A and B are shown apart, each in its own frame.
Chain A
């Protein structure tokens, strides 16, 4: 059974803290994504990685950075958390053969910044 796991389901942090969200996939997929999900806005792409150490900015990269040192792991970093980054964060992966393929999602991390 293919799987995308995220390090935490719920996370509470204080304003100004550095926050790491971890994502691991076991499908040997080349492509990995970080999305932010807010009510009424659907999913918005923060960052995309198409290979190890490679990354592309999505639609809302401000305030975020990413790291992909190994193929199976994609980390989202909030350098200095702010209250407007309170949200649900979803990680996804996709095989690299086609850019039109299905994405596989993790269960999400609900982050609250106080």
Chain B
């Protein structure tokens, strides 16, 4: 069955430190992959997406993600976290039907 797993329910990093949020997927074909961010009190906003081609994709707010087919992963990274990055992050796979499968989310806390 198709699934998206985000192993970390929450992560705490210091401001200025690097960040990596993990995402693993289970999908029969080469997937399309998204990362969304949900700031407190807001809806979800697309950070970046992978469709094909370069496995390293750049997104908004300084985020990037790398697609690794051999590991079935699409981890999100940022070299230096800012306090405003505190939010919940969702990895997602559109299925080609009308459904998109979302991971359970990882909540990021940023400490000063």
Contacts and interface: CB of A to CB of B under 8 A. Distances in A.
Contacts of B34: 102
Chain B interface mostly helix, strand, loop or mixed?
loop
Interface residues of A, number: 24
Chain A interface mostly helix, strand, loop or mixed?
loop
Interface in A87-114: 90, 92, 99-103, 105-108
Contacts of A102: 34, 46, 49
B41 A107 contact: yes
Given A40-B9, A42-B90, A42-B104, A99 B96 contact: yes
A56 interface: yes
B61 interface: no
Nearest to B45: A105
A102 B104 CA distance: 18
Interface string B43-83: 11110010100000000000000000000000000000000
5 contacts: A48-B98, A100-B96, A102-B34, A103-B46, A108-B43
Interface of B: 9, 32, 34, 36, 41-46, 49, 51, 90, 94-100, 102-105
Interface of A: 4, 9, 31, 40-43, 45, 48, 50, 56, 58-59, 90, 92, 99-103, 105-108
